[in-house]
A and B are shown apart, each in its own frame.
Chain A
């Protein structure tokens, strides 16, 4: 199973909005609602930010939102803040109850 494709880096100024894409196929992202997004700060474990394409766990800022169109899922961060600087990974359920992660996107706040 190949990794989901994400841009290597995305940057924005404080207060701006940025969007990270996650492109898969009709067998993974396009087939299921089970797309998740994780934020990983340096030397920390990943943190769940979005599940089921567009749902936020309790405690996650409403500045984070998710969507999906066809085989591409997206994570949007609105009102970008310095604390949002991190690596972001998407993940999708794939057949046979297995999972695949994206290639990862480094978000830089300018």
Chain B
């Protein structure tokens, strides 16, 4: 079955960068878009960006312009999300999620990676 497994929790200092991985299995990685969404404690999900597995084309939310980079390794079937210039406001659960064909929602989701930014 389709499964997304994310890397483990991270603790970072303000100003640092974090890179979260998302390993996909159970489907053709290059045929789908991988989305990234984050959720701060007690808050709504916030869309961050996506990458198309085949071409590597990306789209980012303007909220992260300049400090968000999404990449992928097609051979390893892994998508990566790197966020730089971290502040305490970036403390959140970060999720990857496969976009169903035809822009039919995000399904499934990874288990989430907790990123804590603290001095």
Contact = CB atoms under 8 A, between A and B. Distances in A.
Interface of A: 1, 3, 34, 36, 38, 45-48, 50-52, 55, 57, 89, 91, 93, 96-104
A101 B59 contact: no
Given A45-B111, A98-B59, A51 B47 contact: no
Contacts of A1: 62
A3 to B, nearest CB: 6
Majority SS at the chain A contact face: strand
Interface in B99-119: 100, 102-112
Leading 5 A-B pairs by shortest Cβ distance: A51-B105, A45-B109, A48-B107, A36-B105, A99-B47
A50 B110 CA distance: 18
Given A89-B44, A101-B46, A101-B47, A45 B107 contact: no
6 contacts: A45-B97, A89-B44, A91-B47, A93-B103, A98-B59, A101-B47
A46 B107 CA distance: 9
B16 to A, nearest CB: 25
B44 A102 contact: yes
